[in-house]
């Protein structure tokens, strides 16, 4: 393990585990989340949603609904402006603004079961619900497409008449349900497979899954006669809500203020808008504030789940385990509008390995399901489920230790990443070596038990961030930033500010400010907050330090070049003749008025140098041969964090991601009827792991400093969900002798496979 060193020397506070600044609020019920805000005169809104997965809307009659006592406003697609096509900027998933607007409220067609058709604001939820029941809609049902194969069939019915496949050499003559094709190749793939002694070739399937955040989407909107609107909402990106809402409603950004509430989980699912534009329109129409809160059922049916996928993978290797070629055909469901995470899937499917020849072709496929949204390392869990399952099968065929096989082919510093750049200071090998040495890799296994290994990877991103630091009169500090705190990031920001400023962590408060008070900041996503916003906080602190030096120099009447910042104090350089003692932040803050006024540091940046994060997971399972039920009995997550600012929250990311991945592997899936209606739209039958399903999740943080960050930070939030799918599958395969290629590995599916294997 290496340790990053700050310019000032060894860390004093980075790497410690203090209580988060917002901790008290969150354990006492004081913290206000999306649904917790109310305003005088506030109305409650409810949606009418499509009962069909695909239908033309012939007519909507709201007469009876408007007559319900207490109903103040109803909006339908007709109330929304037409929005021109254009790639969505910001957020965390692909897509188009026109599609976003139509997703928020259907216009001439509904494209999935649960698609919003109308919304009502009334003095009570019950009145709004009553009105929703009285809205009459005439539909003309259309054919429903629910899987990749039927949507890609040459004669398939179309979701959109004007969607033409992008990424082909020429614009196709006919529209299609395939929005985009992307290809990525290197080397001579034919020669590579010809050279191989062993070839593994399989098709892997993963289902539609949901992020499963516990807080449903919620917002409160207030429109004013001055055309200014304010929105309180639970989001990962308040600036994205602002730009997306402004675009959907064709309004100026200056007319919209977004106040992010505390956010009850997102995992990528709260990086777009569903409610906010509707709430503003209802508020405008009624002249009163409007609160919209999704039910859990609506969250499942009408927010943005993660793509189902079909991946055909082929890998070739020599007898000694060296890979000679890899190829992949990857199709990701986008839902009803284009923009699945197919592109990152194509980019990462081979990323962990140094292979001389590869070819990956990806397809973004539309189906009559809700438009997908980002979910933690979007696209990667599906892709690496395929790659890491095949690698494990290869190890078994070659009778090699699965970690040895991976070490033999691992990317290392200097390797050309399959997605382009040359890797520098990466932790793939270090994670594999740590896994090999881990006691959990050596624990003896009992009957019906098996162990699985898998590698995880995510690129991580930088993007734009701003931060301000205000120094108080007594030398304490307030950090102002714009990333909703979804997992303890206030603690990380406070630690970095305290480290730089040489003041105790407890003396730093962190404010997640609204879009009028914070500088522009991209979404809380892409594992970017500790990296990029952290970098802005460090730079803002350094801005303060340079001001402190200037002020001390002025006080001492020496040139600023004559002073230094050492151990949290301004000191005169050796040889400079100054009679005063070194000055701390508090010393100078106390004399701010004398030295030039309040101390305020700031930074805004577009962070470059994000460092990819690799992981290795070890999973032990026991399979009941009579029922097919899988128990995870031991789980170990090892990951390169670059530098762990607050190690407890890094471990928390690793543990939480692991368990989401375990859920994805074992039980989570959208189950659709033939008509396209989700049959398990609740936590009863959409089975996320519960506490009693799991063992402790052991963690080991590897710290290979990221040279692109002052403290060596690389993002940690997304990589943790990538390895578990294959780690669990490989463990099940080891326990049973099966080769499971379809998720989830639910008990009926495993028992059927066991029966089939018996013959």
Residues 212-241 that bind other proteins (CB under 8 A): 212-216
Q: Least CB distance from residue 686 to other proteins, whole Å? A: 9
Question: How many of the chain's residues bind other proteins (CB under 8 A)?
Answer: 81
Q: Least CB distance from residue 137 to other proteins, whole Å? A: 19
Determine, following the binding rule CB under 8 A, whether residue 187 of this chain makes contact with other proteins: no
Spatial separation of the C-alpha atoms in residues 452 and 385, rounded to whole Å:
12
> Which positions ≥6 away from 391 have C-beta within 8 Å?
315, 402, 405, 406, 455
> Which positions ≥6 away from 685 have C-beta within 8 Å?
671, 679
Closest-CA residue to 119 (of 274, 314, 308)? 274
Candidate ranges 50-58, 260-268, 430-438, 612-620; the one touching other proteins (CB under 8 A): 260-268
Q: Least CB distance from residue 192 to other proteins, whole Å? A: 39
CB-count burial class (<10 Å; 0-12, 13-18, 19+) for 285? middle
Place of tokens 């995992």: 267
Q: Is 66 helix (H, G, I), strand (E, B) or coil?
A: helix
Q: Which of 50, 76, 176, 211 binds other proteins (CB under 8 A)?
A: 211
Q: Which of 322, 604, 648, 742 binds other proteins (CB under 8 A)?
A: 648
Other Cβ atoms closer than 10 A to 663? 25
Spatial separation of the C-alpha atoms in residues 467 and 535, rounded to whole Å:
9
Q: Which of 97, 267, 353, 459 binds other proteins (CB under 8 A)?
A: 267
Q: What is the largest CA-CA distance in the chain?
A: 91
> Which positions ≥6 away from 418 have C-beta within 8 Å?
184, 186, 347, 348, 349, 350, 351, 353, 355, 358, 360
Sign of the torsion angle spanned by Cα atoms 219, 527, 364, 175: positive
Candidate ranges 262-270, 399-407, 527-535, 730-738; the one touching other proteins (CB under 8 A): 262-270
Candidate ranges 19-27, 149-157, 351-359, 420-428; the one touching other proteins (CB under 8 A): 19-27
Residues within window 111-130 making contact with other proteins, judged by CB under 8 A: 124, 126-127, 129-130
Closest-CA residue to 257 (of 282, 226, 221)? 221
Closest-CA residue to 288 (of 356, 223, 353, 345)? 223
Q: How far is C-alpha 337 from the geometric centre of its chain's CA atoms?
A: 19
Site string for other proteins, 672-711 (x = CB under 8 A): -------xx-xxxx-xxxxxxxx-xx--------------
Residues within window 378-397 making contact with other proteins, judged by CB under 8 A: none
Closest CB to other proteins among residues 15, 656: 656
Candidate ranges 160-168, 341-349, 545-553, 657-665; the one touching other proteins (CB under 8 A): 657-665
Determine, following the binding rule CB under 8 A, whether residue 667 of this chain makes contact with other proteins: yes
Determine, following the binding rule CB under 8 A, whether residue 495 of this chain makes contact with other proteins: no
Helix or strand run (H / E) with residue 614: strand 613-623
Closest CB to other proteins among residues 295, 424: 295
Alpha carbons within 13 A on the beta-carbon side of 275: 31
Q: Which of 611, 652, 708, 712 binds other proteins (CB under 8 A)?
A: 652
Closest CB to other proteins among residues 450, 724: 724
Q: Least CB distance from residue 54 to other proteins, whole Å? A: 21
Structure tokens at 262: 């505390």
Residues within window 29-88 making contact with other proteins, judged by CB under 8 A: 29-33, 35-36, 69
Spatial separation of the C-alpha atoms in residues 179 and 158, rounded to whole Å:
11
Q: Which of 92, 96, 99, 262 binds other proteins (CB under 8 A)?
A: 262
Give the chain's end-to-end CA distance (angstroms, integer).
Answer: 50
Spatial separation of the C-alpha atoms in residues 211 and 313, rounded to whole Å:
26
Other Cβ atoms closer than 10 A to 36? 16
Query: Any idea what DSSP says for residue 307?
Result: P
Closest CB to other proteins among residues 11, 33: 33
Determine, following the binding rule CB under 8 A, whether residue 747 of this chain makes contact with other proteins: yes
Closest CB to other proteins among residues 465, 660: 660
Q: Least CB distance from residue 127 to other proteins, whole Å? A: 7
Q: Least CB distance from residue 11 to other proteins, whole Å? A: 18
Determine, following the binding rule CB under 8 A, whether residue 296 of this chain makes contact with other proteins: yes
Candidate ranges 264-272, 458-466, 494-502, 506-514; the one touching other proteins (CB under 8 A): 264-272
């Amino acid at each position: 393990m290496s340790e990053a060193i700050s310019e000032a020397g060894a860390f004093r506070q980075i790497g410690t585990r203090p209580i988060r600044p917002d901790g008290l609020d969150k354990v006492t019920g004081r913290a206000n989340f999306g649904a917790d805000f109310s305003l005088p005169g506030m109305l409650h809104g409810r949606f009418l949603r499509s009962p069909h997965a695909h239908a033309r809307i012939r007519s909507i009659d709201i007469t009876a609904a408007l007559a319900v006592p207490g109903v103040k406003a109803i909006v339908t697609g007709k109330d929304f402006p037409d929005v021109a096509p254009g790639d969505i900027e910001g957020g965390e998933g692909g897509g188009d603004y026109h599609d976003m607007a139509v997703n928020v409220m259907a216009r001439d067609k509904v494209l999935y079961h649960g698609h919003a058709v109308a919304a009502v604001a009334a003095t009570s939820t019950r009145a709004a619900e009553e009105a929703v029941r009285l809205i009459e809609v005439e539909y003309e049902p259309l054919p429903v497409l629910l899987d990749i194969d039927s949507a890609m069939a040459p004669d398939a019915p179309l979701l959109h008449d004007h969607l033409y496949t992008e990424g082909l050499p020429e614009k196709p003559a006919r529209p299609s349900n395939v929005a985009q094709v992307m290809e990525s190749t290197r080397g001579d793939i034919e020669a590579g497979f010809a050279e191989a002694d062993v070839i593994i070739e399989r098709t892997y399937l993963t289902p539609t899954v949901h992020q499963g955040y516990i807080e449903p989407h919620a917002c409160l909107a207030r429109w004013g006669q001055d055309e200014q609107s304010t929105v309180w909402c639970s989001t990962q990106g308040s600036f994205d809500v602002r730009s997306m809402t402004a675009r959907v409603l064709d309004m100026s950004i200056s007319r919209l203020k977004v106040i992010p509430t505390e956010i009850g989980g997102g995992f990528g699912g709260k990086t777009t808008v569903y409610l906010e534009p509707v709430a503003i329109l209802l508020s405008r129409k009624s002249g009163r504030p409007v609160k919209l809160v999704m039910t859990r059922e609506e969250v499942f049916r009408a927010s943005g789940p993660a793509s189902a996928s079909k991946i055909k993978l082929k890998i070739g290797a020599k007898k000694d385990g060296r890979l000679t070629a890899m190829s992949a055909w990857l199709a990701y469901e986008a839902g009803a509008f284009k923009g699945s995470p197919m592109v990152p899937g194509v980019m990462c499917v081979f990323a962990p390995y140094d292979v001389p020849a590869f070819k990956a072709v990806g397809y973004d496929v539309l189906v009559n399901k809700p438009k997908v949204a980002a979910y933690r390392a979007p696209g990667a869990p599906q892709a690496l489920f395929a790659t890491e399952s095949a690698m494990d099968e290869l190890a078994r065929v070659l009778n090699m230790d699965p970690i040895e096989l991976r070490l033999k082919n691992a990317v290392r510093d200097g390797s050309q990443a399959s997605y382009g750049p040359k890797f520098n200071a990466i932790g793939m090998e270090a994670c594999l070596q740590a896994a090999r040495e881990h006691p959990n890799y050596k624990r003896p296994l009992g009957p019906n038990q098996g162990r699985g290994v898998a590698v995880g990877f995510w690129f991580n991103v930088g993007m734009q961030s701003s931060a301000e630091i205000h120094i108080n009169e007594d030398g304490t500090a307030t950090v102002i930033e714009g990333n909703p705190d979804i997992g303890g990031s206030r603690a990380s920001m406070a630690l970095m500010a305290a480290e730089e400023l040489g003041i105790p962590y407890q003396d730093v408060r962190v404010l997640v400010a609204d879009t009028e008070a914070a500088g522009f900041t991209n979404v809380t996503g892409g594992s970017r907050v500790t990296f990029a916003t952290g970098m802005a906080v460090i730079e803002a602190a350094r801005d303060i330090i340079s001001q402190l030096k200037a002020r001390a120099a002025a006080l001492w009447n020496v040139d600023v070049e004559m002073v230094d910042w050492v151990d949290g104090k301004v000191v005169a350089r050796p040889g400079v003749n100054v009679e005063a003692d070194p000055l701390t932040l508090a010393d100078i803050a106390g004399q701010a008025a004398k030295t030039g006024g309040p101390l305020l540091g700031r930074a805004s940046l577009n962070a470059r140098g994000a460092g990819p994060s690799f992981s290795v997971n070890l999973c032990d399972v026991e399979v009941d041969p009579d029922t097919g039920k899988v128990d995870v009995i031991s789980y170990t997550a090892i990951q390169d964090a670059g530098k762990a600012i607050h190690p407890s929250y890094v471990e928390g990311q690793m543990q939480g991601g692991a368990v989401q991945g375990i859920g994805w592997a074992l039980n989570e899936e959208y189950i659709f009827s033939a008509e396209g209606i989700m049959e398990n739209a609740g936590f009863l039958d959409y089975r996320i792991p519960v506490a009693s399903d799991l063992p402790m999740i052991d963690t080991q943080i590897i710290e290979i400093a990221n040279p692109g960050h002052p403290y060596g930070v690389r993002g940690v939030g997304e990589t943790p969900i990538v390895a578990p799918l294959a780690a669990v599958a490989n463990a099940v395969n080891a326990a049973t002798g099966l080769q499971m290629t379809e998720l989830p590995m639910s008990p009926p599916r495993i028992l059927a496979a066991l029966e089939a294997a018996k013959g």
